[in-house]
């Protein structure tokens, strides 16, 4: 780790939720300013690390709290309501700690988990450009002459990479007996020779996620730090459901944050429409009606998120085909509803708040920009397809990291 924190402790689930709730107001306070200036949230991430939240999903046998899907999703929901970018930095941290828990051997688990418990952040390097599709990887792991591996490639949209202590790199490697290279994960220290992170993320939303470009030039990786990720999907799994659950939690959190921001604006700054006959904008019955509709949508997404988290956690590490499918389908429903609620509520903020809310200096449009950008991560229309097939014929969804 580059800068270990000193005030770190193990948090049980109740403590984790309390810590997230306590942090949320301070994270929200300057979220708009950070977004407008593209200011990296280093101090905010350090504050999160100091609470011990980064270590809640570390297994108990390695000194963590072993928090399950319910707790982690709720932590990200609460933080997402305050600042989607910060919640998004945490998504790959917890998703790849789950990969480490499922596929890592004793050596890599001990090393990475110890660092995380001391405040280290895990980021990802997955996405590439130029392939036939999003899973057409060019990054390669090759055996090193002196033992271990070398990884070479370029990764884009690497969320959290600018702040990371460890980067989980997705790359393909030859496997004896397999006809094509298979997906692996290499856990690489952020300061490894040959690894370079460029601060070039220019998205309209998620502006402070540290989603740089990661260049890997023959980076050496010890054998113990390379995980056979392809094996995860050869039997029933909730790995993808867990990762998608955390994305859904971020969307649902933003939906609640946008609705709260809209309500505060209407109560304190909006003027009533002259035809309403009301003295206060908050008394306009058409505005009240719209808030009621939005509240239904957000509460529905929150309920689906909780249900999905329950299915993932109840399925456990060794689900059967039916429990794995049900977890994936439940999370898919939460992802569809959460994404729609985030985009719709963030847009409706201006509808209910009125012209004053469009002042660029207020930066209330960050809610919509963040929601619209984050919900592009996985197409909701494919989630709907899997839901439809499951409902109509009982067909199980495929096994991969996006379902």
Torsion sign, CA atoms 97, 222, 182, 320: negative
Residue pointed to by tokens 């002459």: 145
Reference 2, options 59, 45, 37, 39; nearest CA is 45
Eight-state DSSP code of residue 205 = S
Q: What is the pTM of this model?
A: 0.96
Q: DSSP string spanning 342-362? A: HHHHHHHHHHHH-GGGG-GGG
Tokens of 25: 């107001």
* Alpha-helix residue ranges (DSSP H) falling in 144-274: 239-268
Residue 249 tokens, joined = 């939690």
Residue-by-residue DSSP string for 262-307: HHHHHHHTPPPPGGG--SSGGG-HHHHHHHHHHHHHHHHHHHHHHH
**Element at 106 (helix H, strand E):** helix 106-117
| Residue whose structure tokens are 């049980």 | 12
Pick from 160, 168, 153: nearest CA to 227: 168
What is the C-alpha to C-alpha distance for residues 173 and 225, in angstroms, rounded to an integer? 14
Q: What structural domains and CATH numbers belong to the chain?
A: 13-121 (1.10.540.10), 140-229 (2.40.110.10), 235-393 (1.20.140.10)
Tens place of pLDDT for every residue, the chain, 403 residues? 444 444 456 689 999 999 999 999 999 999 999 999 999 999 999 999 999 999 999 999 999 999 999 999 999 999 999 999 999 999 999 999 999 999 999 999 999 999 999 999 999 999 999 988 888 899 999 999 989 999 999 999 999 999 999 999 999 999 999 999 999 999 999 999 999 999 999 999 999 999 999 999 999 999 999 999 999 999 999 999 999 999 999 999 999 999 999 999 999 999 999 999 999 999 999 999 999 999 999 999 999 999 999 999 999 989 999 999 999 999 999 999 999 999 999 999 999 999 999 999 999 999 999 999 999 999 999 999 999 999 999 999 999 999 9
Helix (H) or strand (E) holding 198: strand 195-198
Q: How far apart are the first and last CA of the chain?
A: 32
């Amino acid at each position: 780790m580059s800068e270990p924190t000193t005030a770190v402790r193990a948090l049980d689930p109740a403590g984790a939720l309390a810590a997230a709730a306590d942090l949320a107001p301070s994270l929200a306070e300057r979220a708009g300013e950070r977004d407008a200036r593209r200011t990296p949230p280093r101090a905010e991430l350090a504050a999160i690390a100091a609470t011990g939240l980064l270590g809640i999903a570390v297994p108990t046998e390695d000194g963590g709290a072993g928090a399950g899907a319910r707790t982690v999703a709720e932590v990200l929901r609460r933080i997402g309501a305050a600042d989607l970018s910060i919640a998004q930095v945490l998504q790959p941290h917890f998703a790849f700690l789950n990969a480490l828990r499922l596929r890592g051997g004793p050596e890599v688990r001990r090393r990475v988990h110890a660092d995380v418990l001391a405040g280290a952040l895990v980021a990802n390097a997955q996405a590439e450009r130029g392939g036939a599709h999003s899973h057409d990887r060019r990054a390669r792991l090759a055996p090193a002459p002196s033992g271990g591996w070398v990884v070479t490639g370029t990764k884009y949209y690497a969320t959290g990479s600018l702040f990371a202590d460890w980067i989980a790199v997705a790359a393909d490697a030859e496997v004896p007996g397999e006809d094509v290279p298979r997906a692996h994960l290499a856990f690489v220290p952020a300061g490894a020779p040959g690894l370079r992170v460029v601060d070039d993320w220019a998205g309209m939303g998620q502006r402070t996620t540290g989603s740089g470009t990661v260049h890997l030039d023959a980076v050496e990786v010890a054998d113990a730090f390379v995980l056979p990720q392809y094996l995860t999907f050869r039997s029933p799994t909730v790995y993808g459901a867990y990762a998608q659950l955390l994305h859904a939690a971020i969307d649902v959190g933003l939906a609640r944050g946008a609705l709260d921001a809209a309500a505060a604006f209407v109560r304190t700054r909006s003027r009533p429409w002259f035809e309403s006959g009301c003295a206060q904008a908050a008394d306009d019955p058409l505005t009240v009606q719209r808030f009621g509709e939005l509240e239904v949508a957000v509460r529905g997404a929150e309920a689906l998120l909780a249900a999905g988290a329950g299915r993932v956690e109840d399925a456990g590490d060794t689900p059967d085909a039916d429990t794995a499918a049900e977890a994936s389908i439940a999370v898919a429903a939460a992802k569809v509803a959460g994404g729609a609620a985030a985009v719709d509520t963030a847009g409706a903020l201006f509808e209910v708040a009125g012209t004053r809310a469009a002042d660029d200096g207020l930066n209330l449009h960050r809610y919509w920009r963040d929601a619209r950008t984050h919900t592009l991560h996985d197409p909701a229309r494919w989630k709907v397809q899997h839901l439809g097939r499951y409902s109509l014929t009982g067909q199980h969804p495929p096994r991969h990291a996006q379902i």
